[in-house]
Amino acid sequence: MLAIIRKEINAFFSSPVGYLVIALFLIANGLFLWIIPGEYNILDSEFADLSPFFELAPWILLFLIPAVTMRSFSEEFKMGTIEILQTKPMKSIQIVLGKYFGAVILILISILPSLIYLYTIGQLGTTINNFDSGVIIGSYIGLTFLIFTYTAIGIFASTLSNNQIIAFLIGVCISFILYFGFGFIASINTNLLFIESFGIQDHFKSVARGILDTRDILYFICISLFFIIVTTYKLERK
């Protein structure tokens, strides 16, 4: 499994695609937070707060993670290398987990430079570094759980087609529905407010407030495990 993780990371950074993904994440965030006028612009709000970043990140990761994971299995199927991979002394679940953790590590590396934003707002405040560290830590933990979940969905989507673009679109659609779909249904029908708790957004917001509720943690773990198990099943059928 470790060999697959190393292979995924090496493949990511041995091509311009890896650096392009990281650059796009930082540029997209940077434009909305510091350049483009609007509700997410920190300078326009005149309040040194990183909450706009954590509101934007789920949207950007919604596209970024499927772009990273779309080649995980679809390329293996297209090139026929999946048969070679399955001849290795590994179980299907080990192959899936290798691909999964390889992608997770890549995405976590991509968001590390965002710590620069934390330093920046610390310097912009009337009092240096006067921000709620508990909320910041909780938001990054929530973002990490979100990455785990989006990546599991993206890996699963990559088993559904030999075409990377189709795998990307499927990953985006599933992630979008699970993140925003339940909240949208609850917003248009007050009798269905309970359904909001089935969506990713409700649990992400809870963790981002600095509240580490066991129910939220179990939710992210269960969703991630579900897609990993289904991916393993699809791989074995292939």
Could you list the pLDDT tens digit for every one of the 238 residues in the chain? 777 788 777 877 777 777 777 788 888 877 887 777 777 676 666 666 777 788 888 888 999 899 889 888 888 787 777 767 767 777 888 889 999 999 999 889 888 888 887 777 766 666 666 666 777 888 889 899 999 999 999 999 999 988 989 999 999 999 999 998 887 787 787 776 778 888 898 888 888 777 778 888 999 999 999 999 999 998 887 6
How confident is the model at residue 45, as a pLDDT? 64
pLDDT in tens, 32-59: 877 777 776 766 666 667 777 888 888 8
Cα angle 18-83-175, degrees, rounded to a multiple of 5: 45
Tokens of 231: 């991916």
| Count of beta carbons in the 10 Å neighbourhood of residue 100 | 27
Residues 4 and 1: their CA atoms lie apart, in Å, by 5
Residues 62 and 172: their CA atoms lie apart, in Å, by 6
How confident is the model at residue 148, as a pLDDT? 95
Long-range contacts formed by 39-42: CB under 8 A, 24+ apart = 42/121, 42/124
| Residues of the domain holding 65 | 2-237
Question: Which residues, 6 or more positions from 225, have their beta carbon under 8 angstroms from its beta carbon?
Answer: 152
Domain tally, the chain: 1
Residues 46 and 50: their CA atoms lie apart, in Å, by 12
The percentage of residues in the chain with a pLDDT greater than 90, rounded to a whole number, is 24
